[in-house]
Amino acid sequence: MVTIVGVKFRSSGKVYYFDPGEFELSAGAHVIVETARGMEFGEVTSNPQEMSEKSVIKPLRKVVRIADRNDEKRHDENMSRKQEALEICQERIQDHGLEMKLIDVEYTFDNSKIIFYFTADGRIDFRELVKDLAGIFRMRIELRQVGVRDEARMLGGIGECGRSLCCHQWLGRFNPVSIKMAKTQGLSLNPSKISGICGRLMCCLKFENDTYCELCKGMPKQGDYVETQDGPAVVVDTSTLKQEVRVRHVMEPDQDTPPGEDRLSDEISIYTKEAVRPAVRETWEQDWNSGKRSRKSRDGRKDSSHRFRTGDRSSGRGDD
CA distance 91 to 89: 5
Mean pLDDT value across the chain: 84
Please tell me whether residue 305 adopts helix, strand or coil conformation.
coil
The 10s digit of each residue's pLDDT in 7-61 is: 988 877 788 889 888 888 888 899 999 888 888 999 998 888 888 877 777 778 8
ω into 191 cis (within 30 of 0): no
Q: How many CA atoms does the CB half-sphere of 35 hold within 13 Å?
A: 18
Decide if pLDDT at 218 tops 60.
yes
DSSP 8-state code for residue 199: S
Q: What's the confidence (pLDDT) of residue 56?
A: 76
Decide if pLDDT at 292 tops 90.
no
Decide if pLDDT at 242 tops 70.
yes
| Cα dihedral sign, 25-28-29-33 | positive
CA distance 318 to 239: 5
Q: What's the confidence (pLDDT) of residue 286?
A: 63
Higher pLDDT: 319 or 179? It is: 179
Decide if pLDDT at 132 tops 70.
yes
DSSP 8-state code for residue 221: P
Higher pLDDT: 35 or 319? It is: 35
Percentage of the chain with pLDDT > 90?
A: 41
- Cα→Cα distances 225→241, 259, 294, 299, Å: 21, 18, 18, 23
Stretch (H or E) spanning 277? strand 277-278
CA distance 29 to 22: 15
Most confident segment among 13-22, 142-151, 298-307:
142-151
Please tell me whether residue 114 adopts helix, strand or coil conformation.
strand
Average pLDDT over residues 241-250: 91
CB 246 within 8 A of CB 308: no
Q: State the greatest distance between any 2 C-alpha atoms of the chain, in Å, as a whole number.
A: 94
Please tell me whether residue 62 adopts helix, strand or coil conformation.
strand
Q: Place 254 in a pLDDT band, splitting at 50, 70 and 90.
A: confident
DSSP 8-state code for residue 35: E
Q: Place 308 in a pLDDT band, splitting at 50, 70 and 90.
A: very low
The 10s digit of each residue's pLDDT in 72-128 is: 999 999 999 999 999 999 999 999 999 999 999 999 898 888 999 999 988 888 999
Query: Which of these, 42, 44, 48, lies nearest to 21 by C-alpha position?
Result: 48
